[in-house]
Amino acid sequence: MTNHLLGPDDLSSAEIEKLLNLAKEIIANPMNYADAAKGKILATLFYEPSTRTRLSFETAMLRLGGQVIGFADANSTSAKKGEGIQDTIRTVAAYSDIIAIRHPVEGAPYLAAKYSDVPIINAGDGGHHHPSQTLTDLLTIWEMKGQLDNLNIALARDLKFGRTVHSLVEALLKHKGNKFFFVSPEGLEIPDYIKEKIPADAIVETHNLEDVLPEVDVLYMTRIQKERFANPDEYAMFADACILDNEKLKGAKKDMIILHPLPIDKEILFEVDDDPRAAYFKQVKYGMYARMALIYTLLNKPFVKGYEREGVVAEGITAKCQNPKCVTNNANVQSAKWLFTDEARTVCRCEYCDWILKNE
């Protein structure tokens, strides 16, 4: 494991299992960890709104005996005056022992890690990744299904901008035999940079939830990411797609579990909350324990400053990242390196946002 947790590729399957086992140990014996972070400070830098993730991180640190500083509104910070991520991180790292950052710009936590003197945790970067939520999801699945392999997992609604979906898929690909059912309205399909990592026989794509429910072990619902749309009228086109109700659940397995990273907008009707398969509020509590395990692990690793994505640098390519939401297009950052991340060296990705370089 690196000094930071920025994306699912920072963890091997063995490291995921180690973190989940630690989370289960904390659940079983919380008092053994009540002073584990005594004298340490977590900084939560939330440039985007959050309820569960921010409070989960803060509660996790407090339950480990540590303290918390930070902000929940970037408009009340020097970012409002034009301060860049690099300078904010250099400053906050001087006050803290570990930092959790959420940012609307994709790749911002990767940039932060290059300048930080303390571990960085990505608490969500635009529509890119959300790895601590992935640990939450994996812990919930493991606790409720008893396995992380040989599962049929349906991921529904906003798969284009749903960063929790992207991180979860990449993490589950580290475990054998999983099959993915991608359910989305047309226009919100799973991005190519995720799909190209999945074996063709492990993907089913559809626009209808009812088509796949009879086969599914885990249903992962998401909301339409309204804040990612430049045009409100475009969001309105998708608002009523793939709604889950009791009628649809009649065709699902009796032992299926329903997950959701929350908040729920209208994609799950209230009537579903009483179904024994609805696990999304249990998921919230598992998130606190997963983050306790993550904070504990990172605080107890020897720290080496700096961060570089794994991959072979594509020498001679100087193209600008084509993703308008990439940190290279939204901050004072030099052009990204392009990395080959596949063995055949055919796919070039931005080191920050994973955007695939295409010849246009």
Q: What is the pLDDT along the chain (360 residues), one digit of tens a residue?
A: 679 999 988 998 899 999 999 999 999 999 999 999 999 999 999 999 888 999 999 999 999 999 999 998 888 788 777 788 999 999 999 999 999 999 999 999 999 999 999 999 999 999 899 999 999 999 999 999 999 999 999 999 999 988 899 999 999 999 999 999 999 999 899 998 899 889 999 999 999 999 999 999 999 999 887 777 667 677 677 777 889 999 999 999 999 999 999 989 889 999 999 999 999 999 999 999 999 999 999 999 999 898 888 889 998 888 889 999 999 998 887 677 899 877 788 888 999 999 988 754
Other CB atoms within a 10 A radius of the CB of residue 78 amount to 12
CA distance 177 to 179: 7
Helices 131-145, 13-28: crossing angle, 10 deg rounding: 70
- Name 193's Cβ contacts closer than 8 Å, sequence gap at least 6: 349, 354, 355, 356
**What's the pTM value of the predicted model, to 2 decimals?**
0.90
Domain with CATH 3.40.50.1370 in the chain: 8-130+285-299, 133-281
Element (H, E) at 286: helix 280-299
Helices 163-172, 131-145: crossing angle, 10 deg rounding: 60
What is the CATH T-level fold of the domain 133-281, as seen in this structure? Rossmann fold (3.40.50)
Give 315's DSSP letter.
T
Domain with CATH 2.30.30.20 in the chain: 311-360
Q: Where in the sequence numbering do the catalytic residues fall?
A: 52-53, 81, 102, 130
**Architecture per CATH, 8-130+285-299:** 3-Layer(aba) Sandwich (3.40)
* Long-range pairs, 229-237, Cβ under 8 A, ≥24: 237/185, 237/187
Select the CATH number that applies to the domain covering 311-360 from these four: 2.30.30.20, 3.30.465.10, 3.90.1150.10, 3.40.830.10. 2.30.30.20
pLDDT at residue number 284: 95
